[in-house]
């Protein structure tokens, strides 16, 4: 009975989410379709620059000097890590269909993701067609049969991307990595819309523990220590009192509570009254003289 009840709840949840997402898809399908089409255009551009690639000597790079190569027999590790990130993000983006901790709509999420991917990939296409570098990967080096592609026999051969060989063994598109674009966009999206941001929380915890709390400067307190007496001979107590009055005036200015004409008039009247009282008291206390 418990399984049947939970299965019924899950089916209602999936049905409700599917209905809501389909309504959004009918409204926002144009940009989603444009983003998917551009992924194909990006693949064609990467294949086109492979025709122009010419192997050459490896360029000096500090990254390769700092991090040793994995080796040709361990090249699958990079693709395995990227595949895990890609599939994990894909599954996570559809979790609102099952879980109740809903923070976004899947259609709107992928709409934003594809928009970022299109902008980044457009810049990538411009860069690797503007500057063509010899690929450092093993299949792009001199002596490899995959370093250059033979001229196409017809247009259909260019338009048909050989997957996954054309994706995994591309050369010439190396100004910045397509894998890195996807990874950064996925991680940034999860950081913004995810609920369990373990990596970021660990970094914040480490920084909070290792670095002292920053002083609050909104109250106008001085950041440098104050000696017991300043150059005018005022003590700390007098300076704190003066700083308190200045802080009050500062908050009044920030809040827009400036002294208007009515308050000024009342203060003048108060001062005048005190002055009259003081003059009367002085005149009463002064002997008339006989």
Q: What is the pLDDT of residues 89-136, one digit of tens each?
A: 999 999 888 887 777 889 999 999 999 999 999 999 999 999 888 888
**Position with higher pLDDT, 249 vs 159:** 159
Q: How confident is the model at residue 253 (pLDDT cuts 50, 70, 90)?
A: low
Contact 12, 133 (CB under 8 A): no
Closest to 220 (Cα-Cα) out of 171, 193, 253, 174: 253
Contact 122, 214 (CB under 8 A): no
Who contacts 235 (Cβ-Cβ below 8 Å, separation ≥6)? Answer: 228, 229
Contact 35, 118 (CB under 8 A): yes
**Position with higher pLDDT, 75 vs 213:** 75
**Alpha-carbon 266 to chain mean position:** 53
pLDDT of residue 225: 44
pLDDT of residue 91: 92
From the CB of residue 136, how many other CB atoms can be counted at a distance below 10 Å? 14
pTM: 0.63
Residue tagged 């994706």 (tokens): 167
CA distance 260 to 264: 6
Q: What is the DSSP string of 85-147?
A: HHHHHHHHHTGGGT-S---S-HHHHHHHHHHHHHHHHHHHHHHHHHS-----SGGGSTT-TTS
Who contacts 285 (Cβ-Cβ below 8 Å, separation ≥6)? Answer: none
Could you give the 3-state DSSP secondary structure of residue 149?
Answer: coil
Buried b (16+ CB within 10 A) or exposed e, 28-50: eeeebeebeebeeebbbbbbbbb
């Amino acid at each position: 009975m418990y399984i049947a009840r939970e299965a019924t709840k899950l089916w209602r949840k999936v049905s409700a989410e599917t209905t809501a997402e389909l309504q959004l898809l009918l409204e926002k399908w144009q940009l989603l379709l444009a983003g998917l089409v551009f992924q194909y255009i990006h693949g064609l551009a990467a294949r086109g620059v492979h025709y122009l690639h010419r192997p050459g000597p490896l360029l000096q790079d500090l990254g390769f000097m700092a991090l040793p190569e994995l080796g040709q027999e361990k090249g699958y590790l990079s693709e395995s890590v990227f595949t895990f990130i890609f599939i994990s993000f894909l599954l996570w983006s559809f979790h609102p269909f099952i879980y109740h901790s809903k923070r976004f709509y899947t259609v709107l999420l992928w709409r934003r993701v594809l928009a970022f991917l299109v902008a980044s990939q457009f810049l990538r296409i411009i860069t690797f067609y503007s500057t063509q570098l010899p690929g450092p990967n093993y299949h792009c080096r001199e002596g490899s049969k995959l370093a250059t592609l033979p001229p196409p026999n017809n247009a259909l051969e260019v338009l048909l991307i050989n997957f996954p060989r054309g994706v995994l063994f591309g050369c010439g598109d190396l100004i910045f990595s397509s894998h890195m674009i996807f990874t950064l966009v996925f991680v940034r999206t999860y950081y913004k819309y995810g609920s369990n941001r373990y990596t970021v929380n660990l970094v914040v915890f480490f920084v909070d523990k290792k670095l002292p709390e920053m002083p609050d400067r909104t109250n106008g307190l001085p950041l440098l220590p104050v000696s017991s007496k300043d150059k005018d001979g005022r003590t700390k107590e007098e300076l704190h009192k003066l700083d308190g009055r200045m802080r009050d005036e500062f908050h009044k200015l920030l809040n827009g509570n400036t002294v208007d004409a009515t308050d000024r008039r009342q203060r003048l009247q108060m001062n005048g009254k005190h002055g009259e009282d003081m003059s009367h008291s002085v005149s009463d206390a002064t002997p008339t003289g006989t």
